[in-house]
Every structure is written in structure tokens, then in C-alpha cells.
């Protein structure tokens, strides 16, 4: 039995289906991952059987990255608040065996109704039982931003309960940084899926892709330096020192001569990306500059 299902749930507002497929391109999983045609007929048949209710809809999906492919299924379920406790409890029943095949859990709440986030807390018993590799919370785009207190509460809860939080209103101008649906897809791709098939990728291609990313980082950093005026002494002080660059270089390249040295460098970058989610914009920019300049020093860019 493969543990390769992605359970996507929300209150009855269509968010689960929009997460996988919507009419507007580039903002759903199928569109941004250039996957095969969305199985609309399959979904329509299921919706006909359920009188339009998004419950038990199963959508096959192939994760295709530079390193592996994996066949998974999205399982959709939208649960009314009046019956959510009873329904979620049913997911924990051992005879359903649902927990044995779920390896990613995606909870979607409506930021226009912040209280809809509270349902995520009801799922903790199921998650403790299932132990999915991915816990993902998504806040839909809203007309008005959340208050600072509510936003902080959501972020703190997600961090304390091993959830990645994706805000669909978040924007970024930091190179290599991903937000919104691209970030959600990246999180799903980081899992070690049952049945995944690894690709044979040459070191030359990997290195070229990595170099291109680092060049973008370094160009962005150099552009920031050149644009500083004489009055920007505080911004200059925020740039990484040579000692910080050397330390980052050691962290990334200490094992570069080993057989899996490049893989370890990739893993280190991924870990930094995850850590960066909890940092301020200024701290994230500084960390990005450290990475760019340490690679430039190591690779002679």
C-alpha cells in the first residue's frame, strides 16, 4: 500500500478544487507544474454522484521534478463547520485506513473569515495518527489583510505544529524566493514519496542550473550595492561581512570534494530557505547575499 495521497480540505467554498485546478492559468497546481490535462470528466462524474458536493473527489497527479517523478492522488473534501468535529473524528477511525495512505495534508482557510483557520486545530489528532510528511496551511487571497495579531497567531501556531504556511497574498522580490502557489508546489515536491522514481541527472546540468541561480543572486546583490547613496551607511552595515561570507562558504562547501558534495550544498540551501520563512525581510535579504557571495567566492563568478 503506497503512502502517496494528498488530502486537501477546507470549508464548503470551492477552495480545494481551486487549489488543484481553476480557470485562471498559472495559479493552480496543474498549471504551474505543466502537468498533463486536468481530468475534468473524472471530476464532473464524481460531482454528479455527490450532487455537487466536493467530497471524495480523487484527482491523479504526477509530480515531475528535475530529480524524480512520483504518481500521487489529490483527495478533496470540503467539510461544513456544523459537522466538522464528527467528520474529522471519522477520519481517525482505524477501519478506514485513510491515515495509512495520506502523506501530505493541505488545509485551506478563508482569510476573509479568519475564524475559519480554527478548524486546522481540529485535525491534529488525525495528523498525529497519519504522520504525513507534509503539513501545509494555505490562506486564500483576501480583500483586506489580516491584522498583525491574527497573522502572528497563525504563523506561530503553524510553526509550533510543523505546518508550512503559505499566504496567497504574499509577494517577494528576493531572488530564488518563492511565494503563493509556487511555494506550495515546492513544498509538496520536497517530500520523499512512496513509489518515486529517481532521475539520472548529470552533474553538469545540475551545476549549470545552480550557477544560473547564484548568478542571479549575485547580480541582485551587486545592483543593491551600486544603488546605495552616501547616506545609506545603515544599509551597508546590514550587508554580510567577510567573516560571515567565509562562514557561509564553509557551511556550503565543506564537503564539496565528497561524492555527494553538490547534493549536500543543495540540501543546505533548502534548509536555509525553510529557515528564512521565520526571518524578517531584511534578515532574508542578508542571508541571500551571504549565499550569493559565498558561491561567487567558491566558484569564481
Same domain for 128 and 274, yes or no, is no
Q: Tell me: do 115 and 257 sit in the same domain.
A: no
Q: Could you report the per-residue pLDDT of 10-34, keeping only the tens digit for each?
A: 887 767 777 777 544 445 677 676 6
- Domain end (from 144, 170, 198): 198
- What sign does the CA torsion over 229, 231, 237, 241 have? positive
Q: What is the CATH number of the domain that holds 62?
A: 3.40.50.11960
Distances (CA, A) of 126 to 15, 85, 192: 21, 11, 20
Question: pLDDT digit string (tens) for 125-139?
Answer: 999 988 898 999 999
Cβ 105 vs Cβ 39: under 8 Å: no
Please state the φ and ψ torsions of residue 150, each to the nearest 5 degrees: -65, -45
- What distance in Å separates the CA atoms of residue 11 and residue 9, rounded to the nearest whole number? 7
pLDDT in tens, 139-184: 988 888 888 999 999 999 998 998 999 998 888 777 667 888 888 8
**240 in the same domain as 96:** no
Identify the domain boundary among 156, 182, 198: 198
Regarding whether 208 and 175 lie in a shared domain, the answer is no
Contact 161, 133 (CB under 8 A): no
- The whole-number pLDDT of residue 299 equals 54
**Confidence (pLDDT) at 235:** 47
Buried/exposed 74-105: b ≥16 CB within 10 Å, e otherwise:
bbbbbbeeeebeeebeebbeeeeebbebbbbb
The domain in which residue 87 lies consists of 5-198
The region of weakest confidence among 61-70, 180-189, 280-289 is 280-289
Domain limit, last residue, from 130, 164, 198: 198
pLDDT over 90 at 232, yes or no: no
Distance CA 3, CA 36 (A): 22
Phi then psi for residue 170, to 5 deg, are -70, 145
* pLDDT for the residue 158: 92
102 pLDDT exceeds 70? yes
Residue 168 CA, chain-centre distance (Å), reads 11
Residue 55: enclosing H or E segment and its boundaries? strand 55-64
- Indicate the average pLDDT of the chain: 75
Question: Does residue 16 contact residue 9 with C-beta atoms inside 8 Å?
Answer: yes
Q: Are residues 87 and 185 in the same domain?
A: yes
Query: Which stretch of DSSP H or E encloses residue 157?
Result: helix 148-160
Q: How many domains does the chain have?
A: 2
Domain identity same for 208 and 180: no
The answer to whether 59 and 20 are in contact (CB under 8 A) is yes
Residues 207 and 143 placed together within one structural domain of the fold: no
Of the pLDDT bands very low, low, confident and very high (cuts 50, 70, 90), residue 92 is confident
Q: Kindly give, in sequence order, each residue whose CB lies less than 8 Å from that of residue 171, ignoring residues fewer than 6 positions away.
A: 179
* 253 vs 109: which has the higher pLDDT: 109
For residues 45-63, average pLDDT: 74
Same domain, 142 and 263: no
Tell me the whole-structure pTM to 2 decimals. 0.66
If asked whether residues 191 and 214 sit together in one domain, one would say no
Q: Which of 69-83, 99-113, 208-222, 258-272 has the lowest mean pLDDT?
A: 208-222
Whether residue 235 sits in one domain with residue 175: no
* Element (DSSP H or E) covering residue 32: helix 29-32
- Whether residues 13 and 116 share a domain: the answer is yes
Q: Cell numbers of 160, please? A: 509550533
Number of neighbouring beta carbons within 10 Å of residue 55: 17
Does the pLDDT at position 226 exceed 50? no
On whether both 134 and 227 belong to a single domain, the answer is no
- Which of the four pLDDT bands, split at 50, 70 and 90, describes residue 297? low
The span from the CA of 224 to the CA of 162, in Å, is 34
Amino acid at each position: 500500500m503506497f503512502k502517496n495521497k494528498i488530502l486537501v480540505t477546507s470549508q464548503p467554498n470551492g477552495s480545494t478544487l481551486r487549489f488543484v485546478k481553476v480557470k485562471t492559468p498559472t495559479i493552480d497546481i496543474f498549471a504551474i507544474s505543466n502537468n498533463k490535462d486536468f481530468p475534468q470528466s473524472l471530476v464532473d462524474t464524481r460531482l454528479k454522484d455527490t450532487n455537487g458536493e466536493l467530497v471524495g473527489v480523487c484527482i491523479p497527479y504526477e509530480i515531475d521534478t528535475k530529480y524524480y517523478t512520483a504518481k500521487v492522488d489529490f483527495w478533496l473534501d470540503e467539510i461544513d463547520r456544523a459537522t466538522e468535529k464528527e467528520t474529522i473524528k471519522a477520519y481517525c477511525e482505524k477501519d478506514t485506513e485513510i491515515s495509512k495512505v495520506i502523506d501530505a495534508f493541505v488545509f485551506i482557510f478563508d482569510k476573509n473569515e479568519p475564524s475559519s483557520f480554527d478548524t486546522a486545530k481540529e485535525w491534529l489528532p488525525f495528523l498525529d495518527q497519519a504522520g504525513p510528511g507534509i503539513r501545509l496551511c494555505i490562506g486564500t487571497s483576501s480583500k483586506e489583510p489580516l491584522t498583525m495579531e491574527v497573522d502572528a497567531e497563525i504563523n506561530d501556531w503553524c510553526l509550533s505544529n510543523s505546518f508550512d504556511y503559505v499566504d496567497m497574498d504574499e509577494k517577494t522580490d528576493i531572488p530564488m524566493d518563492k511565494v503563493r502557489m509556487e511555494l506550495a508546489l515546492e513544498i509538496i515536491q520536497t517530500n520523499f514519496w512512496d513509489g518515486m522514481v529517481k532521475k539520472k541527472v548529470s552533474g553538469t546540468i545540475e551545476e549549470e542550473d545552480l550557477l544560473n541561480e547564484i548568478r542571479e543572486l549575485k547580480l541582485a546583490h551587486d545592483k543593491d550595492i551600486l544603488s546605495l547613496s552616501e547616506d545609506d551607511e545603515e544599509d551597508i552595515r546590514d550587508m554580510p561581512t567577510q567573516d560571515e561570507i567565509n562562514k557561509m562558504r564553509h557551511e556550503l562547501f565543506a564537503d564539496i570534494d565528497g561524492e555527494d558534495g553538490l547534493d549536500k550544498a543543495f540540501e543546505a540551501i533548502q534548509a536555509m530557505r525553510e529557515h528564512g520563512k521565520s526571518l524578517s525581510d531584511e534578515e532574508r535579504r542578508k542571508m541571500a547575499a551571504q549565499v550569493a557571495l559565498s558561491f561567487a567566492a567558491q566558484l569564481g563568478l
